């Protein structure tokens, strides 16, 4: 799996450093949590991560803040995009060079990280830092934002990130706890000798890969419909599916066709999407993210 491969690469890199350095008592890596938040959802994730890692935390702030009204913010962002400009942010108090790990959080706007984070990435150099993205979104955008982040900071060691829908913030603390278990062995002790054992510990659940997809059955189609019905940004029909056991139930990966919601010229054309759906015991199906 790509996630564990990245962790093993991190372990190998750190092992090389250890082998070339005189032996001394291991010290905890320095961790910084940076975030931009418009509605406080991303802030809540940032605070959860910082608390669990005992990390420093700092908010990315604008010189000229966005309007609190949603539509006004969208209109300003659209105007800025058309002009090719980014909002001006205030200087960071933290010195990036002092940290080994940097967690960067943001809401997803227009399919990627919000413009204030784009402004930050223009100003900082994350080369050789372990960088862990996290985000909040309406339907998805983690994968596309990580791709953009990797292109913007090609010399950073960008790890698999965490994303959560705004509609699922109640599930966030438990998900962050499980997510951070993959990183704590490296962060808490830079000596990676026992990293393999740590990633296979009883307290960490790593789901198997999804099997090959198959055409959806009537029952599976009903699960998909129950998960996406009522969400105004999706008009999708499931085609194929695969499922796997996860910590709290069953996770489904649907391939679906998303049709235009309205007959308007500016509506995006029909497209194939992937929709992740979680079914926990005694709970209704809920989609956790969409990958376009």
Domain coordinates of the chain in residue numbers?
2-199, 214-291
What's the CATH architecture for 2-199? 3-Layer(aba) Sandwich (3.40)
Q: What is the pLDDT of residue 42?
A: 98
Q: Count other Cβ atoms within 10 Å, centred on residue 120.
A: 21
Q: What is the pLDDT of residue 2?
A: 46
- Strands 112-113 and 101-109 come out as antiparallel
User: pLDDT (tens digit, 9 = 90+) per residue, 222-267?
Assistant: 999 999 999 998 999 999 999 999 998 999 999 999 987 666 666 6
Angle at which helix 142-152 crosses helix 115-123, to 10 degrees, equals 20
Q: What is the pLDDT of residue 270?
A: 82
What 3-state class would DSSP assign to 77? helix
Beta bridge partners of 58: 34
Q: How confident is the model at residue 188 (pLDDT cuts 50, 70, 90)?
A: confident
Q: How confident is the model at residue 269 (pLDDT cuts 50, 70, 90)?
A: confident
Q: What is the pLDDT of residue 7?
A: 54
274: CB partners within 8 A, 6+ apart: 253, 254, 255, 256, 290, 291
Percent of the chain whose pLDDT exceeds 90: 74
Q: What is the pLDDT of residue 205?
A: 82
């Amino acid at each position: 799996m790509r996630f564990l491969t990245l962790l093993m690469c991190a372990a190998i890199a750190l092992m090389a450093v250890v082998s070339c350095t005189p032996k001394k008592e291991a010290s905890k890596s320095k961790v910084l949590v940076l975030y931009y938040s418009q509605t406080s959802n991303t802030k809540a994730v940032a605070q959860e991560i910082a608390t669990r890692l005992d990390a420093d935390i700092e908010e990315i702030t604008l010189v000229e803040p966005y309007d609190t009204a949603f539509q006004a913010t969208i209109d300003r962002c659209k105007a800025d995009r058309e002009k090719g400009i980014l909002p001006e942010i205030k200087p960071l108090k933290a010195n990036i060079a002092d940290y080994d790990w940097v967690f960067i959080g943001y809401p997803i706007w227009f399919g990627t990280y919000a413009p204030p984070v784009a402004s930050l990435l223009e100003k900082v150099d994350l080369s050789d830092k372990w960088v862990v993205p996290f985000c909040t979104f309406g339907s998805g955008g983690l994968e596309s934002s990580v791709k953009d982040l990797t292109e913007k900071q090609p010399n950073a060691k960008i790890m698999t990130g965490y994303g959560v829908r705004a509609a699922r913030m109640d599930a966030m603390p438990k998900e962050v706890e499980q997510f951070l278990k993959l990183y704590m062995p490296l962060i808490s002790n830079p000596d990676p000798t026992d990293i393999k054992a740590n990633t296979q510990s009883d307290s960490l659940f790593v789901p198997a890969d999804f099997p090959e997809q198959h055409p959806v059955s009537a029952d599976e189609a009903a699960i998909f419909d129950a998960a996406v019905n009522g969400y105004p940004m999706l008009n999708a029909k499931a085609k194929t599916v695969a499922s796997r056991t996860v910590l709290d139930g069953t996770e489904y990966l649907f391939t679906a066709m998303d049709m235009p919601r309205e007959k308007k010229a500016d509506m995006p054309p029909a497209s194939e999407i992937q929709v992740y759906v979680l079914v926990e015991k005694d709970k209704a199906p809920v989609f956790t993210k969409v990958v376009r």
